[in-house]
Amino acid sequence: MSPKHVIFKKLSRDKSVGVYMAKRDFVDHCDSIDPVDGVVLIDPVQVKGKKVFVMLSCTFRYGRDDMDVMGVAFRRDIFLTTRQVYPELQDKERSIHTKMQEKLLRKLGDNAIPFFFEFPDNLPCSVCLQPAPSDVGKRCAVEFEVKAFCAENQDEKIEKRSFVRLAIRKIQYAPGDSKTIPSSEITCEFLMSDKPLHMQVSLEKETYYHGELIKVSVDINNSSSRSLKDITVAVEQVTNVVLYSNDKYVRAVALEETSDTVPSGTTLKKVYTLIPLLAANKERRGIALDGKLKHEDTCLASSSIVKEEVLKEVQGMLVSYKVVVRLNASGMVGSSEVAVEVPFRLMHPKPEPAKEGESDDMVFEEFKRVYLKGVIPDDDESPTEA
């Protein structure tokens, strides 16, 4: 018995056009990007001689649509391309169909038309900032969508009942981990102290997967006259909004506050364990998430990997992570904070090679089901089996 594939579909209100896609997550492999493909189903009676177009867009949104200031919208199309699929043009750019497209074309009949897009290599990945529970409207986000509509021409204002939108995501998997062991250290000399404080912080590896434990090795040699206390170990997410503004959001997404002390003339060697999860940060505004699809679970945003030749401003938002160990050094002349930072990556694991009849997207869905407890989309974007 052949394996069944999940198909995502969405129809316009007047049923004139519908979009069918085998997946909604498209992977940026750094050296190549998964193409976006699917099938548009049209109703010739509803179309009534109009043209049918399919659009792929990447949009950066800094605020709600009603936040326009002096005619300047807090929204920018980073990438936008439109193809006419009906009537079919003579100079079709692609005549080879994917296996899933061929299967859908056979199942949906003569009114089904395939479409195909390729991403340029300078686009960001999907990411959004989590709003507060009281916030309404669109969130700050980099969003991708496929839009199909019928119209006399592609530039005219389209009636809401005659178009359909299907949100998609552009994601990255973790690259092969380097052999480098992330580590950082600091040596502090204090007033009225003959000897210094030395602290070193190290991790086991450079790249961690979502849901994975992070072991933080802390090595303190306190030769100073100060007493060390209030040691905290945190995973901090840093989100730089690089388009429209230079906002920076720094949020501790995992934190351990300890009662450990290191008196003068003593040492401390200890391993602390943290696990950064969205589940512990659900109500916190400004946390960056991997782009969220409607009624689907997601996770903390993955680290941004940007190619050297790409302008960072075009990325909209850049996300990075670091482990930060802080402690309070107190003495006769007051106290001061000492901190050591170690950057690392937090990403999705690259799936195992797909088995026969199994797509990479199905493997990723299984990862989300196990680690992120993803839920099935609602009926207006309902998956069906092909």
* 178 confidence band (pLDDT: 50, 70, 90): confident
Q: Look at residue 373 in the predicted model and tell me its pLDDT.
A: 38
Q: Look at residue 294 in the predicted model and tell me its pLDDT.
A: 63
| Domain segments of the chain as ranges | 6-172+351-385, 183-347
Give 324-356 pLDDT, tens digit per residue: 999 998 865 667 889 999 999 999 888 766 555
Please state the φ and ψ torsions of residue 250, each to the nearest 5 degrees: -115, 115
Does 87 sit behind a cis peptide bond, omega within 30 degrees of 0 on the bond before it? yes
Is it the case that residue 360 has pLDDT exceeding 50? no
Give yes or no on whether 6-172+351-385 and 183-347 have one common fold. Answer: yes
Give 235-280 pLDDT, tens digit per residue: 999 998 876 666 788 999 999 999 999 999 999 999 999 999 999 9
Give 296-318 pLDDT, tens digit per residue: 668 899 999 877 766 666 677 88
Q: Look at residue 313 in the predicted model and tell me its pLDDT.
A: 65
pTM for the model: 0.81
Name the class of domain 6-172+351-385.
mainly beta
Q: Look at residue 245 in the predicted model and tell me its pLDDT.
A: 61
Is it the case that residue 371 has pLDDT exceeding 70? no
Name the amino acid, one letter, at 50. Answer: K
Residue 280 DSSP symbol: G
**For the residues of 129-178, what is the DSSP string, one character each?**
EPPPTT--SPPSEEEEEEEEEEESSTTSPPPGGGEEEEEEEEEEBPPPPP
Q: Which of 185, 216, 188 is nearest to 321 (CA)?
A: 216
Name the class of domain 183-347.
mainly beta
